[in-house]
Structure 1
Amino acid sequence: MSDPLSVAASCVGLITAAGATARAIMSFVRDCREARADLTTISRELADLQIILELLKSDEEEGSLPGPLRTQIVAIVDSCGGLISSIDDLLKRHKGKTGAIRWAVDGKREVEGLRRGLEAYRGSLSLAVETVTL
C-alpha cells in the first residue's frame, strides 16, 4: 500500500511541474507564435490537471482515498510527470531562430501525441476523484 504522504507529495510535485510547464509554454508561444494553437490545448489540460491534483491531495489529507486507489494514483502521477518532462524537452528542442521551422516539421505531430497522453492521464485522475466522490 502506498504511503499517504507519497500521494500528497506526488500531487504537489506534479502541480508544481505542471505550473512550470504552463509558464514555459507561454514563453515559448511568445517566440514561436505558430505553435499557439497546438499548445493552447496542452495549457488547458495542464490547468485542469492542476485542479484535479489539488482535489486528490485534499481527499488524501482527509483520509478519503482507499488504499488500492492510492497506489494507482501514485503510478499515474509518476507517469504523468514523465510526460510533462517530455513536453518541457519538446519546447527546449524547438527554441531558437529555426524553432518555427522545426515546429512545423515535427513539433506539431509530436505535441499531438503528448496532448493525447496528457488527456488520458488527466481523465484517469479525474475518474479517481469521481470514485472518491461516490
Structure 2
Amino acid sequence: MDGLSVVASCIAVIQAADQTYKIISQFARDCKDAKGDLAAVSQELSTLTRTLTQLKDLVPDGSDFSDSDLTNNTKRNIRDIVGSFLAVACETKEVLSGHEGGSRH
C-alpha cells in the first residue's frame, strides 16, 4: 500500500468514526428525552387500566343488571372489549417495565 492509500484509508476511518459518534450521540440524546415520554405513557396506561377495570365492574358477568337499559348482548360486548383492552394494557405495561432504568427485567 502506498502512502497516499494509507492516508486515504485513515481519512475514511476517521470520517466513519465521526459519523458513528454523531449517530450514537443522537441516539443517546433521543433515549434520554424518551425517558419522560415513557413515564407519561406509563402513567396514562395506569389510568386507563384503572378506568377499564372500573368499567368492567359496572358490567357484571351475571344478569344482575335487571334495571339496566343495556341488553345482555351489549353487556357481553362491553365486557369483551374491556377485557381485550385490559390484555393489551397489561402487555404494554410489561414491555414498558422491561425498559425502565435502561435495563430489561
Larger Rg: 2
CA RMSD of aligned residues (A): 2.6
| Structure with greater contact order relative to length (CA < 8 Å, sep ≥ 6) | 1
TM-score by length of 1: 0.41
Give the corresponding residue for 2:82: 46
Identical aligned residues as a percent: 11
Give the corresponding residue for 1:58: 94
Look up the SS of the partner of 2:65 in the other structure. Answer: helix
Mapping of residues 1-134 of structure 1, within 5 Å: 3-26=37-60, 29-32=65-68, 35-63=71-99
TM-score by length of 2: 0.51
Unaligned runs of 5+ in 2: 1-33, 101-105
Number of residue equivalences: 64
**Does structure 2 conserve the Cα–Cα contact (< 8 Å) formed by 1:29 and 1:35?**
no
CA distance in 2, matches of 1:9, 1:28: 33
CA distance in 2, matches of 1:14, 1:51: 12
Q: 1:24 to 1:51 in 2, by over 3 A?
A: same
**Does structure 2 conserve the Cα–Cα contact (< 8 Å) formed by 1:8 and 1:57?**
yes
Unaligned runs of 5+ in 1: 65-134
Deviation at 1:37, TM superposition (A): 1.2
